Structure 1
């Protein structure tokens, strides 16, 4: 086992040396507890939260180090100086956390019930993240938790649901239900998103997409038919990510990326959801992958045609989808972040941690944040000139 530890240490050293070529910026941090949420709450701050069962979990709002939001690149700089701006404790494990735009409100969810917790982030005189109230929802199985999305139009809204049939929109100030899904589909929800003020999207664990207009009195969800999901990969779990805006040369199309636990990605234009516009086999899951708990796919907000995939192992893979076609093909990543693999280097017998979540920086095109199950938190900007490694 000693030889194995030495090999891991050598691998870490080689990766750090290689990083001088691969990255414009690379910052390595360690959290006290691992997180499965990275939520932007401002231009310079994020929220993270613990997700362990049977204990109180911290919710923290962290201020990024100044060098991470300075205009010029700062080079390689491993350090641990995120500043805790605000903090609180949750009696539930936090599996999802969303900030409500234009407010100081957070909404969290996690097992073992379907309830939502609403929080207020302290200001000036207090640094406490304080619980305000609970939104009770349909009770689910022990492993289930409500998926959530937030929006602000005339007031703060939260879109939530355990199953497709449970999806609803709650106005947070009045706690009034303003939309209820009329679907009879009992598939567990994997992803919820506001497409615009009145349009919402749900992706079920089986990969089906559901669309709804919250202005419709019936509140019916309609299925975006797509036979490719059930035909190609029956029995797989899925998640989804929505393109934040139109891609270059794509007109006004709204793209949704779906990722399966078998490593397949499908891009669908919601104007014509009957058939994916692009498909690719992005990776082959490792034998140790348990379910689809950490799967994540997201579009780059400022780098057209790029998306990131994580949750299969200790890496985050970035893909350029411009050359993808409607038929399935093996896709080569434009970049692979391997830093979390070496987080436990030198610890004999310790398996490499799985990446639990990732998030794109809102104003730096090739910068991402990623976290893993060992508590490591990385901020990285890959070099435009580097080849995939």
Structure 2
């Protein structure tokens, strides 16, 4: 089973951040892609590290089939809903994870996008505000916020340009951060639908590279959350959301070759480790970096850990070596990471700093 495995960690009680499941999905264009909710082994559900556990495998709790490839997959916080996106247009699909006595994930509706013919697939982010919202759009001038359950439009962006988007994120219930494929960042105030969006470019960005974005988890000061951007050429830029046109640090990732595109690139901040982030999508490895001593010299950054499990243990599917398609940090265990690859493998690993 070849799955892209766009992962989202689910919690039964998001206030307590209880790790109760992982959602994964397939991405092939042929149709019949699976969407699965996996129950993690007991050792991953515990908040504290336990001893040896005889049960080490994930179990399928429930699932569904999507007639579209799933390029984007998000769990709606505090609900049993999933939102997916993927070609051939920028519309969304909404799914209901069924009750415990059922093994079916049910399709419950769709969210259409205006003038989406020929548009790239929509990038998505979710949040629970007064009602569950989804932030979605394929281009800077098509960004919208929609109530997931009622399909009511909450916000429509105003932009003078139609730059393609690579990532979107909620900073809080009123503010969204948008990253363009060419690296520009734009802040959107959901309360001001008519305010035009302005995009700030990556300082010293090489031409022709495509970029992805990762935003640090919200801390005591939401305004100081750092943003990491990684390019298909292996460049990493750190930015403060309060000054998106300025760079805090600029380095080069230590990967053997550039990425052929940005589809599988991912950069994510560790939720419980200061200044620590992970990067994947260049090959069959996941690199962990400590950013606290980075500067703007553009030098090569040395990873503090490299997970090589997919590269060494994966099966060659005929399309070449396994490629890590996504990764996610465990919400309670600071050094535990989940990663998936193009051969359908799902790894859970804990790294130790030398």
Q: TM-score, normalised by structure 1?
A: 0.84
Task: Quote how far apart the aligned CAs of 1:149 are.
Answer: 0.4
Q: CA RMSD in A?
A: 2.2
Matched residue of 1:341: which SS?
Answer: helix
Sort the Cα spacing of 1:90 and 1:277 in 2 relative to 1 into closer, same or farther, 3 A: same
Looking at structure 2, the residues matched to 177 and 372 of structure 1 have their Cα atoms a distance apart, in angstroms, of 35
Unaligned runs of 5+ residues in structure 2 are 12-18
- Mapping of 1:1-389 within 5 angstroms? 32-42=1-11, 43-70=19-46, 71-74=48-51, 81-137=57-113, 138-141=115-118, 144-223=120-199, 225-226=200-201, 228=203, 231-246=204-219, 253-284=224-255, 286=257, 289-344=259-314, 351-384=320-353, 386=354
- Report if the CA contact (8 A) 1:181-1:220 is conserved: yes
- CA gap of 1:323–1:120, structure 2 versus 1, over 3 A, is same
Structure number with higher relative contact order (C-alpha < 8 Å, ≥ 6 residues apart): 1
Structure 1: distance between partners of 2:229 and 2:261: 16
Residue range with higher mean Cα deviation, 234-243 or 63-72: 63-72
Q: How far is 1:39 from its partner?
A: 0.4
Question: 1:216/1:369 Cα in 2 relative to 1: closer, same or farther (>3 Å)?
Answer: same
Aligned residues: 345
CA contact (8 A) 2:284 2:323 kept: yes
Structure 1 CA distance for aligned equivalents of residues 318 and 10 of structure 2: 38
Check conservation: 1:342, 1:352, Cα contact below 8 A: no
Tell me by how many angstroms 1:246 deviates. Answer: 3.8
> Does the 8 A contact of 2:6 with 2:72 survive in 1?
yes
**Structure with larger Rg:** 1
Distance 1:205 1:327, change over 3 A: same
